[in-house]
Structure 1
Amino acid sequence: MLALYAAGDTSPVEVTRAVLARADAMQGVLNPFVRVDADEALAAADASARAWRAGLPTRPLEGIPVSVKDTAMTRGWVLGRGSRLSIGQAPATEDAPSVARLRAAGAIIYACTTTCENGWKAVTDSPLTGITRNAHDPAVSPGGSSGGAGAALASGCGPLALGSDGGGSVRVPSSFSGVFGMKGTFGRVPQWPIGPHYSDMAHYGPMARSVADAALMLSVMEGYHPRDPYSFPPAPPGAFLAGPLPLSGLRVGVAEDYGCLPVDPDVRAVFRASVALAELVGATLVPVPDFEDWRPTYRTLWQAGAWQALRRLPPERLELVDPEFRTEAFKGAAIATGDLIDAQMRRITYRQDAARLHETMDVVLSPSVSVLPFTAGQTVPDPSWPDWLEWGGFAFLANMTGQPAASLPAGFSASGLPVGVQVTGRWQDDVTVMRVCHALEGLLVEGRRAPSQLVERLGD
């Protein structure tokens, strides 16, 4: 788009009109959006078009449409977080730092994408906004909680989306929707206000249809912000835009299941094929030793946080909350103080274990999710899974350690559903993760399907 704008072959106004038309066509099929702000988007597009015509110095995302998940504060919009508790709430008067930086970089903030209530699970449905569906097959879920972003990208509703990730909520929908998504090191993208219960396990991150697009988006969002004391200075200028990192000689850890996580046979097959391609171009494969199952630790931390988010609500307000979320949150009330402290200590151990692991490995490859996309409107694939905390487990470790991690489209199951591979890196080495993903993207061509190829299946 930027190249076309520079050449005068199209304009931000034409692109934005096309994105708005596509969003309107897909809303009734997939339900990716809470709101689409056509008037504001077209006004911003007109300003960008004038800047391009005048030959003015243009900003990194000048005239590029970007959607924002309903967990990030956006000026003029109600911060709903997928919850009926937001009904009647006043619109926000300012942007979250990530949104403000996107806007300052010239992005056209055109829509708010759906999430489950408070981003509490790894699929996207809520009592406020209903069920969001997968662009590859509307019968199944796009994942979550940034599922609206995944569905919008995969169906051609804009090139960039802002997601958030407290337990795989960028990476799970990226895998389920066949797009790219990354959560950087904790503090890479500043956060304010903080999410309702994920505390320092939550991250914001870019989602896109290509690694290069996500790298450009991340490059304008990252860096220290005074409202986030955990944020840190940005990478060197241009570091995220350096392109693919050659895989030859790179030490690539291979964690097919970490010795503790279940993996669907189709997911396993796509993952093994991805690893084989990396080895074929010269990557040095290093088996990752078995890990302790970290899901119980994450469960304790998550449930305690969920309880904290709801425990002060009066009964009449509590009745508005998603019943499933309410049930899980109330389990947090029964967690003993000693058990919570033990979980916090285990989390510190995981950080140390991960740091030690990366002394001998540059990145680690694993599946992004244990399972394939399953029926939309369900929280688990089938009754054999107690809850989403069981099947979403691959993502949780990086949320607890704060490491950078991304999900890259790797291929498709025999039934035609997307499968992602997760790339995890050492603390603050986000650039290597992004550049390795860029290199893998060039190998895993079967994992990418342009939105135009989905149009016939979805209809207009």
Structure 2
Amino acid sequence: MTDLCDIDATTLLALYASGAVSPVEVTRAVLDRAAAMQPVLNPFVRIDAEPALAAAAASERAWRAGLPTRPLEGVPVSIKDTAMTRGWVLGRGSRLSIGQPAATEDAPSVARLRAAGAVIYACTTTCEGGWKAVTDSPLTGITRNAHDPAVTPGGSSGGAGAALASGCGPLALGSDGGGSVRVPASFSGIFGMKATFGRVPQWPIGPHYSDLSHYGPMTRSVADAALMLSVMEGYHPRDPYSFPPAAPGAFLAGPLALTGLRVGVTEDFGCLPVDPAVRTVFRAAVARAELAGATLVPVPDFADWRPTYRILWQAGAWQALRHLPAERLDLVDPAFRAEAFKGAAIPTGDLIEAQMRRIAYRQEAARLYETMDVMLSPSVSVLPFTAGRTVPDASWPDWLEWGGFAFLGNMTGQPAASIPAGFSASGLPVGVQVSGRGQDDVTVMRVCQTLEGHLAEGRRAPSQVVERLNA
């Protein structure tokens, strides 16, 4: 029999409809897998078994009675510890949350998942405040990669990445202020998408990411992400940046043929370092796209945007911490605190100039898509590296240097996804980033569905991942 933890959400819904499997047995399997993976990978802040089983039982009754069912009826989903969830303390990976009251309502994305019938079963780990692209924090410790526990799953949505890769549910909600969905998607061999800024409403916003941050789906199949995004998207009155949803069914239209599609290609944007192992996998993926009929378009070089992002990020970090009294500040991750104090020293003129450069990047990126429909690049400069570290080795000053491929999409607000593309010779996952023009999330998603079919060797079933873990 197929391992229930291998089955994606789209297939689960069909199996529920036929009566072949039930939401309760799937939720039990996911909870059992989560309990088994927690001591090995540490992907969870909490596993909420009793409410999850109660929700699954309600979904099971609806399916068995032939009652109207919702888009995610009975499908398990985890929520990153940056999204407010009713009944849970919003921790954001920080010891500052200890002793705080539980939330009395859901963030809009969580509320929409719940209203769609999803079974919310666990809260996934993050670094403190989502401040870096790996996942460890003073509150929850180190989260590890399901493909190799010695290395990081990336971050800051690393708990979600490790959970999905090891079969702990088919769906996860992540957040992305500087690659925090796409980096762990690449490092964990799963799919993750940062939709156009405003596509998925946010409330409350993170303490320092402002309009750099996006919520997004993390899944093992692109179709599942399309389903999840179709549930979460659309205007919400608490988020003034949110906008109306796409046309009904737009995200569920399926793959888009690559024949004649203008696909921009860049290995490094002319300014970013890339590990040779990452280049190898990326070039093979581009060759597959060209064989499938894509018209490849060279992407012109960009001026390095990492210094601009660094200023915006460090200033935001200072904003997050500057009102804390000394005794509370002592509870904060010392490395996060150090970055915040760098933000305190940024001259006002430099901050304003960075904001203006960000506008220029938005305009330059918008012009770029006059000549192409989507763009392919590596998702991350490096392979997954030792867990508990912020950089691969001493040659990298900090994570802002190796995480640079993701930052452009956060600064421009344009949609960007990471799709599994293959494995390095050492057996570690590598992702390819697929980016698109603003508000054209549907094309990005549909192209990713097409590429998924051409890059099947880039994915491992959770049962295979767990078997390797147990070997």
Say whether the fold is shared (TM-score over 0.5). Answer: yes
Task: Find out whether 1:60 has 2:71 as its counterpart.
Answer: yes
Counterpart in 2 of 1:245? 256
Paired residues of 2:82 and 2:175 also in contact (CA < 8 A): yes
Paired residues of 2:166 and 2:465 also in contact (CA < 8 A): yes
Q: For 1:386 and 1:262, how far apart are their aligned partners in 2?
A: 13
The Cα shift of 1:192 comes to 0.1
Q: 1:305-346, CA deviations, whole angstroms, 9 ceiling, x for partnerless residues?
A: 000000111111000000000001110011000000000000
Counterpart in 2 of 1:165? 176
Q: For 2:33 and 2:288, how far apart are their aligned partners in 1?
A: 35
The Cα shift of 1:459 comes to 2.5
Task: Find out whether 1:271 has 2:282 as its counterpart.
Answer: yes
The Cα shift of 1:281 comes to 1.2
What pairs with 1:390-429 in structure 2 (closer than 5 Å)? Answer: 390-429=401-440
Counterpart in 2 of 1:105? 116
User: Aligned with 1:19: secondary structure?
Assistant: helix
TM-score normalised to structure 2 length: 0.97
What pairs with 1:7-86 in structure 2 (closer than 5 Å)? Answer: 7-86=18-97
Counterpart in 1 of 2:3? none
One-letter identity of the residue aligned with 1:174? A
The Cα shift of 1:9 comes to 1.1
User: Aligned with 2:392: secondary structure?
Assistant: coil
Q: For 1:367 and 1:9, how far apart are their aligned partners in 2?
A: 40
Task: Find out whether 1:443 has 2:454 as its counterpart.
Answer: yes
Task: Find out whether 1:362 has 2:347 as its counterpart.
Answer: no
Counterpart selection for 2:293 from 278, 282, 291? 282
Counterpart selection for 1:324 from 317, 335, 338? 335
One-letter identity of the residue aligned with 1:40? P
Q: 1:155-207, CA deviations, whole angstroms, 9 ceiling, x for partnerless residues?
A: 00000000000000000000000000001000000000001111000000000
User: Aligned with 1:89: secondary structure?
Assistant: coil
Q: For 2:466 and 2:152, how far apart are their aligned partners in 1?
A: 18
Q: For 2:16 and 2:313, how far apart are their aligned partners in 1?
A: 45
Paired residues of 2:146 and 2:466 also in contact (CA < 8 A): no
User: Aligned with 2:46: secondary structure?
Assistant: strand
Structure 2 unmatched runs, 5+: 1-11
Counterpart in 2 of 1:379? 390
Q: For 2:50 and 2:179, how far apart are their aligned partners in 1?
A: 33
Counterpart selection for 1:342 from 343, 353, 360? 353
User: Aligned with 1:110: secondary structure?
Assistant: strand
Counterpart in 2 of 1:293? 304
One-letter identity of the residue aligned with 2:178? G
Counterpart in 2 of 1:183? 194
Q: 1:45-104, CA deviations, whole angstroms, 9 ceiling, x for partnerless residues?
A: 010000001101110000000000000000000000000000000000000000000000
TM-score normalised to structure 1 length: 1.00
Q: For 2:450 and 2:457, how far apart are their aligned partners in 1?
A: 14
The share of aligned pairs that are identical, in percent, is 87
Counterpart in 2 of 1:314? 325
Q: 1:380-427, CA deviations, whole angstroms, 9 ceiling, x for partnerless residues?
A: 000000000000000000000000000000000000000000000000
Count of residues in Structure 1 that have an aligned counterpart in Structure 2: 460
Q: For 2:402 and 2:386, how far apart are their aligned partners in 1?
A: 14
Moved more, 204-213 or 445-454: 445-454
Q: For 1:56 and 1:99, how far apart are their aligned partners in 2?
A: 23
Q: For 1:311 and 1:155, how far apart are their aligned partners in 2?
A: 38
| Aligned-residue RMSD, C-alpha | 0.6
After the TM superposition, list the runs of 4 or more consecutive aligned residues in structure 1 that deviate by more than 2 angstroms: none
Task: Find out whether 1:216 has 2:227 as its counterpart.
Answer: yes
User: Aligned with 1:149: secondary structure?
Assistant: helix
Counterpart in 2 of 1:228? 239
Structure 1 unmatched runs, 5+: none
